[in-house]
């Protein structure tokens, strides 16, 4: 209710005091034009099945976006489902389509605790892959994947979700078998395989979770002190309107960019408890707009990527019971209020 009232007050003000033309000029026609105007890459996660099979999905993706991330196709289980058997079809398709459509690519992701191939997790569990072998496998994985796309990936999510919500380092197979140095190793190997790619640490809830923020800042300071090649910080940006907007996000992003990193919002979506109402869509639009503004106003944030641009292909309904409608376009690829809200963002 409070939010609704604020919304009404804002609308009333906007009517009384129309923004003068010099504040922003003409509203961009689409996100690609917005991207050029803001000098921030506007990205989307890509569903490879839809990319191959749905002409309308492909058309809108290529019209609207200047950056893409494979939603699943570059994850370890996708590229090496059996030991030593690589399947690059999906990942190649994303990169080729991007090149044809003047889109940069975010590589996602090299070191993660999820979506690992069964041969790897089983081998670690039954002891047939010991710590020494595991380190070799990780090096090989990074060198092979980063090497394959050398020169074609603007930025890699080298490590993903390495701190848990309590602010402890995540107890993954990487930490428990290799110790904390696996992080520095991963960045060094990735840099060796593609010296020009920007190398990122990526995480969720990093917009607001103080314990996670502080541990992550310390990890980055430590890496920098050791001259480990880390270039960027990725905020996933998975929000929900049933929670307050993380109002401290601009300061949090600043704390990271003050360390000399570039920033990106890498997986933005704003989910809601169903059913959808116009009020919820208005709140969602506000959240999207504030996230993009945070990126634009920071000055070191170079990319704003949504985790899927259409509700037709969104991970939210499958992962959050009773929630959905998290994207900026609906199932029919019609723009929602959030899309228009993004188009209205300007540099200060
Ligand atoms: C999700 C995908 O969207 C789903 O299709 C898949 O089943 C699970 O992973 N953080 C990440 C992403 O870094 O890789 C996750 O993507 C969403 C959360």
Asked, for residue 130, whether it belongs to a domain, the answer is: yes
At 145, the pLDDT band (50, 70, 90 cuts) reads: very high
Mean predicted confidence (pLDDT) in 192-213: 98
Mean predicted confidence (pLDDT) in 65-73: 98
Mean predicted confidence (pLDDT) in 221-247: 98
State how far the Cα of 35 lies from the Cα of 55, in Å rounded to an integer: 23
At 302, the pLDDT band (50, 70, 90 cuts) reads: very high
Q: Is 267 considered catalytic here?
A: yes
Choice among 64, 71, 80, 161 that is catalytic:
161
Asked, for residue 26, whether it belongs to a domain, the answer is: no
Mean predicted confidence (pLDDT) in 70-81: 98
What is the pLDDT, as a whole number, of residue 18? 52
Beta partners for residue 104, in sequence order: 67
At 25, the pLDDT band (50, 70, 90 cuts) reads: confident
Q: Residue 19 above 90 pLDDT?
A: no
- pLDDT tens digits for 312-346? 999 999 999 999 999 999 999 999 999 999 999 99
Mean predicted confidence (pLDDT) in 244-271: 98
State how far the Cα of 43 lies from the Cα of 106, in Å rounded to an integer: 9
Mean predicted confidence (pLDDT) in 6-21: 46
Asked, for residue 21, whether it belongs to a domain, the answer is: no
What is the pLDDT, as a whole number, of residue 8? 44
Residue of 78, 238, 307 to mutate, ligand 1, most atoms within 8 A of C-beta? 307
Residue 3: burial class (beta carbons within 10 Å; 0-12, 13-18, 19+): middle
- pLDDT tens digits for 112-131? 999 999 999 999 999 999 99
Choice among 64, 145, 267, 303 that is catalytic:
267
Query: Is 232 in contact with 199 (CB distance < 8 Å)?
Result: yes
Asked, for residue 89, whether it belongs to a domain, the answer is: yes
- pLDDT tens digits for 262-285? 999 999 999 999 999 999 999 999
Asked, for residue 25, whether it belongs to a domain, the answer is: no
- CA-to-CA separations, 231 to 16, 203, 302, in angstroms, rounded: 45, 15, 12
At 103, the pLDDT band (50, 70, 90 cuts) reads: very high
State how far the Cα of 39 lies from the Cα of 299, in Å rounded to an integer: 10
Mean predicted confidence (pLDDT) in 298-311: 99
State how far the Cα of 161 lies from the Cα of 172, in Å rounded to an integer: 10
Helix (H) or strand (E) holding 93: helix 89-100
Q: Residue 299 above 50 pLDDT?
A: yes
Q: Are strands 262-273 and 323-324 parallel, antiparallel or unpaired?
A: antiparallel
Structural domains counted in the chain? 1
119 CB near ligand 1 (under 6 Å): no
Q: How many angstroms separate the alpha carbon of residue 9 from the centre of ligand 1?
A: 37
State how far the Cα of 333 lies from the Cα of 317, in Å rounded to an integer: 17
235 CB near ligand 1 (under 6 Å): no
Asked, for residue 348, whether it belongs to a domain, the answer is: no
The CATH code of the domain that includes 59 is 3.20.20.80
72 CB near ligand 1 (under 6 Å): yes
Question: Which of 16-25, 44-53, 166-175, 313-322 is least confident?
Answer: 16-25
Asked, for residue 23, whether it belongs to a domain, the answer is: no
Beta partners for residue 268, in sequence order: 306
Q: 160-184 as b/e, with b when 16 or more CB fall inside 10 Å?
A: bbbbbeeeeebebbbbebbeeebbb
Query: Is 326 in contact with 338 (CB distance < 8 Å)?
Result: no
Which has the closest alpha carbon to 109: 272, 266, 299? 266
Mean predicted confidence (pLDDT) in 224-248: 98
Asked, for residue 76, whether it belongs to a domain, the answer is: yes
At 24, the pLDDT band (50, 70, 90 cuts) reads: low
Residue of 315, 317, 319 to mutate, ligand 1, most atoms within 8 A of C-beta? 315
E strand spans, 179-332:
198-203, 232-235, 238-240, 262-273, 301-306, 323-324
Q: Residue 23 above 60 pLDDT?
A: no
160 CB near ligand 1 (under 6 Å): yes
Ligand 1 atom closest to the CA of 75, numbered from 1: 14
Mean pLDDT of the chain: 94
Range of the domain at 221: 2-14+31-343
């Amino acid at each position: 209710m409070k939010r609704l009232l604020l919304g009404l007050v804002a609308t009333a003000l906007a009517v009384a005091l129309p923004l003068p033309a010099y504040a922003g000029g003409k509203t961009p026609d689409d996100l690609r034009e917005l991207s050029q105007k803001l000098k921030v890459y506007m990205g989307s996660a890509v569903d490879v099945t839809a990319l191959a099979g749905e002409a309308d999905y492909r058309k809108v993706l290529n019209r609207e976006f200047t950056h893409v991330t494979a939603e699943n196709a570059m994850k370890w289980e996708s590229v090496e489902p059996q030991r030593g058997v690589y399947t690059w079809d999906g990942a190649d398709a994303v990169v080729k389509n991007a090149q044809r459509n003047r889109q940069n690519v975010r590589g996602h992701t090299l070191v993660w605790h999820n979506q690992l191939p069964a041969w790897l997790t089983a081998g670690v569990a039954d002891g047939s892959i010991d710590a020494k072998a595991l380190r070799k496998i990780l090096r090989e994985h990074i060198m092979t994947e980063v090497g394959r796309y050398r020169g074609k990936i603007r930025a890699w999510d080298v490590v993903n979700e390495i701190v848990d919500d309590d602010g402890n380092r995540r107890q993954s197979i990487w930490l428990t078998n290799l110790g904390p140095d696996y992080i520095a190793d991963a960045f060094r190997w990735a840099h060796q395989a593609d010296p020009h790619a920007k190398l990122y640490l990526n995480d969720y809830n990093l917009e607001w979770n103080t314990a996670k923020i502080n541990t992550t800042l310390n990890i980055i300071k430590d890496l920098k002190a050791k001259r480990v090649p880390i270039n960027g910080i990725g905020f996933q940006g998975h929000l929900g309107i049933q929670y307050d907007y993380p109002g401290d996000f601009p300061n949090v992003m600043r704390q990271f960019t003050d360390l000399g990193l570039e920033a990106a919002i890498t997986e933005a979506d704003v989910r809601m408890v169903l059913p959808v109402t116009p009020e919820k869509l208005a709140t969602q639009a506000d959240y999207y707009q504030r996230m993009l503004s945070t990126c634009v106003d920071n000055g070191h944030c170079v990319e704003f990527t949504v985790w899927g641009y259409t509700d037709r292909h969104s991970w939210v309904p499958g992962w959050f019971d009773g929630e959905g409608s998290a994207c900026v376009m609906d199932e029919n690829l019609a723009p929602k209020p959030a899309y228009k809200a993004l188009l209205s963002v300007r540099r200060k």
